[in-house]
A and B are shown apart, each in its own frame.
Chain A
Amino acid sequence: MTETLLFDAALIALILGVTVWTLAVRDTIAAVIGFVVWGLLIAFAWVRLAAVDIALTEVAIGSGVTGMLLLRAGAQARKFDAPVKPVNRTTSIIAGALCGVVFVVLAAVVLLATGPGPTLAPQVAESLPLTGLGNPVTAVLLAYRAFDTLLEKVVLMLALLGVWSVAADRAWGRPPELWTASRRDGVLRFFAQVLAPVGIVFAIYTFWAGADVPGGAFQASAVLAAIWLIVVMAGLARLPATGSPALRLSLVAGAAIFLVVGIAGVHIAGAFLAYPPDFAKALIIAIEAGMVWSVAATLALLVAGPPQAGERR
């Protein structure tokens, strides 16, 4: 018992240390790398809290894909390295005091809470057999709170629309530009060739296994998105034009399949987004498959940024 507490305390010390370093370090790129390391440590915290599904999502999206996005942003921002005016001392002191109060209140909530918390676990356990799934988190995402997950697809699409809409007018419909390796025989190219098939198989496994054990559509999409970006950066493929109909169809396919199944549920099972018990698992897998495809494309394009006009530098 004490050993595990010792491990937890060491992990927390490490997390807080990296947090402070990430916030305090001068260089933005160094801060982003600190953030990626931090995400991996937080994933350990999630494993300690017995939330392996979240740990996988945090590693793949919170740390991996977000880290990649921020690295690109940091590198691009270097070109505009004008000094920014730091906030004055009084502001920092007031902010520090406010944050101290926030910490004390939240710590009190954690320490003073007694007894078992409110829980929906019994309801989930009761209706889990109806979905044919074994992983309660996937069941919550795709069955009990399917509406949330559907709207989340829409949020992802809206975010991508927002990113695209900051492009210059003449760049609209063109492909985004990603940093690519200049050497044709480089290590990255070899790495991408070896990694891509393994990664694709791993993503399909994560998606398939997610029905019964930790894993699922989001984690699989993040892996696929990362593979796609690595292949593009190695110079083995190009990003499609943002105006291409095939790409746009890919982006909306996930939400569209979800909606079609949802509306069909009104007639077959009596409610929007309800599944007939006999086909529940098959339908959930179908929705998830569409989702993996669309979410992977959306994540990768969110990292790649707005379309570029082409004749840059």
Chain B
Amino acid sequence: MSTAALFGLCSAALIALGLYGLMTHPHPLRKILASNLLSSGVFLFFGVIANRGAGNGFAGDPVPHAMVITGIVVAFSATALAVALVLRLYEVSGTADLGVETPRPDKEAAPR
């Protein structure tokens, strides 16, 4: 078994574990964390595929490598936005539970 195949299996396991965490964790911040594990697993999977495209003196296909770098930055932007929304939800509703009713808009003006 080659290095690429080993990391391919690793990324498959990461995607599955991240997905499981995303679906079963009730806490929204933990869901965000799990989705980060999931997305890094997808990037790693992509990296393993890039490794098969090695050639012309490059150790891997540089195009997917560049796309993963873009992906990491975009994943961070999405995380930051999700975190801001969750913290605002806490401030407004006082709870971390995503299942509760949305608070009335008139509470919004004075969070504390």
- Interface size on B, as a range, is 35 or more
B residues less than 8 Å from A9 (CB atoms):
6
Q: Roughly how many angstroms separate A21 CA and B32 CA in the complex, as a whole number?
A: 16
Interface residues of B in 23-65 (CB under 8 A from A): 23-27, 29-30, 32-34, 36-37, 40, 43-45, 47-63, 65
Task: Using known A-B contacts A8-B6, A141-B69, determine if residue A302 contacts B77 with beta carbons closer than 8 Å.
Answer: yes
Asked whether, in the complex, the Cβ of A82 is within 8 Å of the Cβ of B53, the reply is no
Asked whether, in the complex, the Cβ of A113 is within 8 Å of the Cβ of B52, the reply is yes
B residues less than 8 Å from A99 (CB atoms):
16-17, 19-20, 23
Name B57's closest neighbour in chain A (CB-CB): A125
Q: Roughly how many angstroms separate A137 CA and B63 CA in the complex, as a whole number?
A: 7
Asked whether, in the complex, the Cβ of A77 is within 8 Å of the Cβ of B7, the reply is no
Asked whether, in the complex, the Cβ of B61 is within 8 Å of the Cβ of A163, the reply is no
Q: Roughly how many angstroms separate A137 CA and B45 CA in the complex, as a whole number?
A: 18
Asked whether, in the complex, the Cβ of B15 is within 8 Å of the Cβ of A102, the reply is yes
Residue A85, interface by CB 8 Å: yes
Residue B105, interface by CB 8 Å: no
How far is the CB of A101 from the nearest CB of chain B, in Å? Answer: 9
Residue B103, interface by CB 8 Å: no
B residues less than 8 Å from A233 (CB atoms):
none
Residue A227, interface by CB 8 Å: no
Asked whether, in the complex, the Cβ of B52 is within 8 Å of the Cβ of A168, the reply is no
Name B85's closest neighbour in chain A (CB-CB): A166
Asked whether, in the complex, the Cβ of B77 is within 8 Å of the Cβ of A4, the reply is no
Asked whether, in the complex, the Cβ of B36 is within 8 Å of the Cβ of A116, the reply is no
Q: Roughly how many angstroms separate A76 CA and B24 CA in the complex, as a whole number?
A: 23
State which of A52-60, A181-189, A238-246, A256-264 sits at the interface with chain B. A52-60
Asked whether, in the complex, the Cβ of B83 is within 8 Å of the Cβ of A48, the reply is no
Asked whether, in the complex, the Cβ of B69 is within 8 Å of the Cβ of A148, the reply is no
Interface residues of A in 135-155 (CB under 8 A from B): 136-137, 139-141, 144-145, 148-149, 152, 155
B residues less than 8 Å from A35 (CB atoms):
33, 36-37
B residues less than 8 Å from A66 (CB atoms):
36, 75-76, 79
Residue A46, interface by CB 8 Å: yes
Q: Roughly how many angstroms separate A167 CA and B52 CA in the complex, as a whole number?
A: 46
Name A299's closest neighbour in chain B (CB-CB): B76
Q: A65-B76, A106-B45, A119-B52 are in contact. List 7 more A-B contacts (CB 8 A).
A: A22-B33, A50-B54, A70-B83, A80-B91, A82-B95, A119-B55, A148-B70
Could you name 15 residue pairs across A and B whose Cβ atoms are closer than 8 Å?
A16-B13, A23-B37, A49-B48, A58-B72, A66-B75, A69-B83, A77-B96, A85-B26, A85-B97, A106-B45, A110-B45, A119-B52, A137-B69, A168-B109, A216-B69
In order of increasing CB-CB distance, the 5 nearest A-B pairs are A119-B53, A110-B8, A117-B52, A50-B59, A159-B77
A residues at B contact (CB < 8 Å): 4-5, 8-9, 12, 15-16, 19-20, 22-23, 28, 31-32, 35, 38-39, 42, 45-46, 48-51, 53-54, 57-58, 61-62, 65-66, 69-70, 73-74, 76-77, 79-82, 84-87, 91-92, 95-96, 98-100, 102-103, 106-107, 109-111, 113, 116-122, 124-125, 136-137, 139-141, 144-145, 148-149, 152, 155-156, 158-160, 162-163, 166, 168-169, 216, 218, 295, 299, 302-303, 305-306
